[in-house]
Amino acid sequence: MSAQEHQTTSLPDTSHVERHGYLFGHPIAHSMSPLLHQTVYDGLGLKWSQFPLDSLDMPLFLRLREHPNFYGASVTMPHKLAILKHLDSLTPEGASVGAVNTMFVRRDEKTGEKVFWGTNTDVVGIRDSFYHNVEDPDQCFHGRPGLVIGGGGAARSAVYALKTWMKASKIYIVNRDRSEVKAVIDECTARGYGDELVDVATVEQAEQLEGVGAIVACIPNFPPKTREEIEARRVLECFLSKSHKGAILEMCYHPSPWTEIAEVSQKAGWKVILGTEAMIYQGLEQDKYWTGKEISDMPVKKVHEVIAAKLSDARL
């Protein structure tokens, strides 16, 4: 990072709150994370705030986290992997996914020194989005294959959630890029949850496979243009048209949570879960680590209302 870039990072004034954290990433201008967490803290009567730190400057962030009133951070792209070497310990989710979106602070019982932990709450956001929005998981997706669309970090989180908690019998991966799919399968296998992952590359292959119960879409909302993108969309539509209708979580929610994939899925008879649900539940899980409170103690209904209002304003 150049000195000029370093100078452009404006540091928030944290003096008016008892404890503070950061949303660390770039770009983050459209993130609703600070709003979500402020709603929780206000509801709990805490004089806390999460401040946006739109920066690529890791050394700056590492200095800021040493402040005595720092409680932790949401870590987003492009820092989810880079932060790993700056952590003292990882939760099972953080270690298994190999990417961290949450930093929290504990004290060593013997020395009293700060210990910086990392976890991944994206996986919880995916899991809870289904269980809070599907009335009968046994009928909908338990014991059935799951489907993941994409090949990035969110796809890895989706594989973990489907395999670890959602009782997927196997997982189909649909993506325009075969090398990305291979990387997901290889990495998940190396981390211990990659068995029964299937690269579904063609409609002919999809037609021969069992219908799925839970789908997680982890790609941007762009209409398919290349031959590979068009084939991937046709593969998805093949699964959507099968007789069993389950639930699909559309992770993309910016600029609008209602995407092409959401529209196609609803028309095919599927229950659509918006990506803001995953964002809310992963955020509430973060606040569990930071505040020590259970989600049942948090203003969950108010958080949903505030996020819905923010989305409504953005569409005006």
Q: How confident is the model at residue 128 (pLDDT cuts 50, 70, 90)?
A: very high
What SS3 class is residue 85? helix
Please check whether residue 172 lies inside any domain of the structure: yes
Residue 137 sits in the same domain as residue 105: no
Task: Based on the fold, state whether residues 84 and 143 are members of the same structural domain.
Answer: no
> For residue 127, which of 38, 249, 264 has the smallest C-alpha distance?
249
* SS3 assignment, position 23: strand
Residues 239 and 155 in one domain: yes
Q: Which of 70, 104, 120 is the last residue of a domain?
A: 120
Report yes or no: 193 and 163 within 8 Å, Cβ to Cβ. yes
Q: Which amino acid is at 149?
A: I
Judgement on whether residues 165 and 212 belong to the same structural domain of the protein = yes
Residues with Cβ within 8 Å of 3's Cβ and at least 6 positions away in sequence, in order, are none
Residue 59 counted as domain residue? yes
How far apart, in whole angstroms, are the C-alpha atoms of residue 298 and residue 159? 28
Dist CA 181 CA 65 (whole Å)? 36
**Is-above-0.85 flag for pTM?**
yes
Residue 291 lies in a domain: no
- Total residue count of the chain as it appears in this document: 316
Is 292 contained in some domain? no
Alpha helices in the chain (DSSP H): 3-8, 33-44, 58-64, 92-97, 122-131, 137-140, 153-164, 178-190, 203-207, 227-240, 260-267, 275-291, 300-315
Please state, rounded to an integer, the average pLDDT across all residues of the chain: 93
67 and 195 fall within a common domain: no
Q: Is 273 exposed, middle or buried (0-12, 13-18, 19+ CB in 10 A)?
A: buried
**Where is the domain boundary, 75, 90, 120?**
120
Give the pLDDT of residue 312: 80
The model's pLDDT over 139-190, given as tens digits with 9 standing for 90+, comes to: 999 999 999 999 988 999 999 999 999 999 999 999 999 999 999 999 999 9
- pLDDT (tens digit per residue) in 198-247: 999 999 999 999 999 999 999 999 999 999 999 999 999 999 999 999 99
Is residue 98 a part of any domain in this protein? yes
Give Cβ neighbours of residue 129 (< 8 Å, ≥ 6 apart).
Answer: 249, 273, 277, 278, 281
Which residue in the block uniquely carries the two structure tokens 């203003």?
299
Alpha-carbon distance values, 108 to 33, 93, 113, 147 (Å) = 29, 21, 5, 41
- Span 10-18, mean pLDDT? 81
Domain that holds residue 51: 3-120
Last residue of a domain, one of 67, 87, 120: 120
- pLDDT band of residue 16 (cuts 50, 70, 90) is confident
Contact yes or no for 199/173 (Cβ under 8 A)? yes
Residue 281 in any domain: the answer is no
CATH number of the CATH domain containing 27: 3.40.50.10860
Collapsed DSSP state (helix, strand, coil) of residue 64: helix
Report pLDDT for 45: 97
Task: Please tell me whether residues 92 and 133 are part of one structural domain.
Answer: no
Query: What is the predicted pLDDT for the residue at 14?
Result: 77
With 60 as the cut, is the pLDDT of residue 5 above it? no
**Count: domains in the chain:** 2
Burial group, residue 168, by CB count within 10 angstroms (0-12, 13-18, 19+): buried
Confidence grade of residue 13 (pLDDT, cut at 50, 70, 90): confident
Q: Do 104 and 157 have their domain in common?
A: no
Task: Describe the strand order of the beta sheet including 89-90 as a list of residue ranges.
Answer: 48-54, 19-25, 70-75, 102-107, 114-119, 89-90
- Both 78 and 146 in a single domain? no
Looking at the domain assignment, is residue 267 inside a domain?
yes
pLDDT the model gives residue 17: 82
Q: Cα separation of 122 and 250, whole Å?
A: 13
Longest dimension (CA), the chain: 61
Instruction: Indicate whether 153 and 34 sit together in one domain.
Output: no
Tell me whether residue 280 is in a domain: no
Give the CATH number of the domain where residue 194 resides: 3.40.50.720
Report the SS3 class of residue 47: coil
Do residues 112 and 178 both lie within one domain?
no
For residue 225 the two structure tokens come to 């243009």
Looking at the structure, tell me whether residues 271 and 132 fall in a common domain: yes
Query: What gap in Å lies between CA 90 and CA 32, rounded to an integer?
Result: 25
**315 pLDDT tier (thresholds 50, 70, 90):** low
Are 223 and 181 part of one and the same domain? yes
pLDDT per position as a tens digit, 27-69: 998 899 999 999 999 999 999 999 999 999 999 999 999 999 9
Percentage of residues in the chain with pLDDT exceeding 90? 85
